């Protein structure tokens, strides 16, 4: 009798395991990158959550990997200043570039500054002008004023040919973005 019960239990376990394996699993819940970004900020600042820089950086990175441009900008800032991550200007410039390529105007400005100073990227006034010019075009309010003033200051140390080259690169970038967006 005991052997029969054991055999029955084994058979039932096998049937249940097969049924569980064949049952479609529910889709993973969608993660909202904006919510991740807000939670990361709370962990980083300690406002509304216990301060935890490691958790904040992981959440910023997850939001950035999901396309959240402000999270990319924030990661660039953290790497540029060695806050909660090792100081790494190349990594900062890369995060600024990723956000810039998605139209984040503050990241465009910061990437331009990186090129202007040769921080994390080669020193290149033409690239600096291109990104600062794009920031001036896409930014609003005070950010736009800052970008326009920086562009003007940069133009004072550039030749007319360099300025024209930078403007052409900016136009080409705008055109490429327009094509990607189907405009």
Which tens digits make up the pLDDT trace of 122-152? 999 999 999 999 999 999 999 999 999 999 9
Higher pLDDT, 10 or 64: 64
Report how far apart, in Å, the C-alpha atoms of 53 and of each of 47, 60, 90 are. Answer: 12, 10, 21
Q: How many secondary structure helices (H) and strands (E) does the chain include?
A: 9, 0
Per-domain residue ranges of the chain:
31-177
Quick one: which of 72, 90, 172, 79 has its CA closest to 131?
172
Radius of gyration over every alpha carbon of the chain, rounded to an integer in angstroms: 25
Give the pLDDT confidence score for residue 178 in this predicted structure: 74
pLDDT single digits (tens) 6-58: 443 444 445 444 544 455 566 667 889 999 999 999 999 999 999 999 999 99
- Contact assessment for residue 71 and residue 37, using Cβ atoms and an 8 Å cutoff: yes
Name the average pLDDT for the chain. 89
User: First-to-last CA distance in the chain?
Assistant: 76
Burial of 25 (0-12, 13-18, 19+ CB in 10 A): exposed
CA dist list (Å): 56 to 44, 53, 61, 83, 142:
5, 5, 9, 11, 28
Chain centroid to CA 166: 24
Structure tokens at 48: 């509304």
Q: What is the pLDDT of residue 19?
A: 45
Residue 71 has pLDDT above 60, yes or no: yes
pTM of the model: 0.82
Neighbouring C-alpha atoms within 13 Å toward the C-beta of 51? 3
The pLDDT score that the predictor gives to residue 8 is: 39
Assign domain 31-177 one CATH number from 3.40.50.1100, 1.10.1510.10, 1.25.40.10, 3.30.420.40.
1.25.40.10
């Amino acid at each position: 009798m005991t052997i029969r019960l054991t055999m029955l239990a084994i058979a039932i376990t096998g049937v249940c395991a097969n049924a569980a394996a064949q049952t479609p699993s529910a889709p993973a819940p969608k993660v909202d990158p904006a919510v991740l970004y807000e939670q990361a900020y709370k962990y980083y600042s300690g406002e509304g959550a216990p301060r935890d820089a490691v958790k904040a950086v992981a959440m910023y990175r997850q939001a950035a990997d999901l396309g959240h441009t402000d999270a990319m900008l924030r990661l660039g800032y953290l790497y540029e200043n060695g806050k909660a991550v090792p100081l790494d200007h190349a990594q900062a410039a890369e995060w600024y570039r990723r956000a810039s390529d998605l139209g984040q105007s503050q990241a465009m400005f910061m990437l331009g500054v990186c090129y202007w100073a040769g921080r994390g990227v080669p020193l290149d006034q033409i690239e600096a002008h291109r990104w600062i010019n794009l920031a001036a075009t896409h930014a609003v309010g005070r950010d736009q004023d800052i970008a326009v003033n920086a562009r003007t200051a940069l133009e004072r140390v550039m030749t007319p040919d360099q300025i024209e080259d930078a403007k052409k690169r900016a136009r080409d970038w705008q055109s490429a973005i327009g094509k990607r967006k189907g405009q």
